[in-house]
A and B are shown apart, each in its own frame.
Chain A
């Protein structure tokens, strides 16, 4: 028997703040209908504010509630600093 876990991939770029939160949430909700594992590439993200961080946490919890995970990948320098400052790097799966 082969068990395959499908992983959705999302890439975001530019500023990730309160203005982008709604569309990000909608994208995550859409992805969660097909997969509970989401890989989120943050390589091109220049800035995240606290509202965006709250959206990332929400997405992480939704994925975990469904038995999956939100994986942050290729985390850009500015985002890495924020994750470290807030200690959220301890809460997320980062690769």
Chain B
């Protein structure tokens, strides 16, 4: 055996051992269970193993915060107490790494990582320059880091969305609870009210109060959809309940004016309006008075004849109400009062045709003699049946009063 071959053999054995070490380190790196770690821990562990794998003296992930393993000498001059500031400095520097002052004897190599925002993995070594294999390994580490960071970011975003979604759901459910759960008990009138929001919450509303034996009620529709409309809806209900007490004795026009005073400015600031119908039924006088601010449909049916109660004012929030206007009706047994939202009349079927006012008028006309619950339920069922497979496009709300001695 020639001794001349020993150095070559040693070199070959050394290379094989090194390659084997690298393979083992790579196996360790690949088998690192990053899924169970938080982002910071995973990054630190990957860097530590990559540091061993690449036999670097220093390895840094240029992120905020900066992660550094090994000797900080080479990066020291670039780092300050503030990671964000250091990162910016390093980012600027790494655009032209050659311009950075590298301490004598050090070799630096860098790969860019894109994980939401540009990052870089920078390796420094004193012992020997980085070769092609080192760069490939560094690229593999960079890709693993990018994957970990991306996964962590997606997880955080999903978590934040889930929290927002949960809060949204709670707020929506609370808003819907502002609607009264039971109907008022007043002699001579039977009341039905129902609101089916298109989403978790909606902007349609109703409220009532019996003050000194008189039933005051409001039905409204806040322009817009979803949670913003629902929150406005709760404000409207609060204003209604206060106005019933404060202005109820003066009738619905005064209640409406009082609500307008409470709401007009804030609605205007939010750039929304509310179509609103306010009514007061006095069973002693068999008299129904209504004030309408832009709401439709509002119908009164007597002996099968349907009267459309036109708006006295534009919706609340458009212009301040300056006149007290209302319609007074003398009620008879069997008469029906009905106020619905546009979610009923504008419900489309699969072909795009709308349910329409005429169908509501027809149902109201044919409904004399029915209880308020039967009539209201029939109208909802008809709209549902009309829509068939078409989705509910808007909140559907109906307030229905039927009058009679027996009720």
Contacts and interface: CB of A to CB of B under 8 A. Distances in A.
Interface residues of B, number: 26
Interface stretch (B88-96, B163-171, B250-258, B314-322): B314-322
Interface string A41-71: 0000000011101100110010000000000
A87 B311 contact: yes
A87 B293 contact: yes
Given A49-B346, A54-B271, 14 more contacts: A49-B394, A50-B221, A50-B275, A50-B342, A54-B224, A54-B272, A61-B268, A85-B310, A85-B311, A86-B295, A86-B315, A88-B315, A88-B318, A90-B313
Interface size class of A (residues with CB under 8 A): 10 to 19
A29 to B, nearest CB: 12
The 7 lowest CB-CB distance pairs between A and B, nearest first, are: A54-B223, A87-B311, A86-B294, A85-B296, A91-B314, A50-B223, A87-B314
Interface of B: 221, 223-225, 268, 271-273, 275, 292-296, 310-315, 317-319, 342, 346, 394
Contacts of B313: 87, 90
Given A58-B271, A86-B294, A53 B311 contact: no
A91 B293 CA distance: 12
A26 B292 CA distance: 32
Contacts of A91: 314, 318-319
A18 interface: yes
Nearest to B295: A86
A51 B273 contact: no
A87 B309 CA distance: 12
A58 B315 CA distance: 13
A57 B293 contact: no
29 contacts: A49-B394, A50-B223, A50-B224, A50-B275, A50-B342, A51-B224, A53-B273, A54-B223, A54-B271, A54-B273, A57-B271, A57-B273, A57-B318, A61-B268, A86-B275, A86-B295, A86-B296, A86-B311, A86-B314, A86-B315, A87-B293, A87-B294, A87-B310, A87-B311, A87-B312, A90-B314, A90-B319, A91-B318, A91-B319
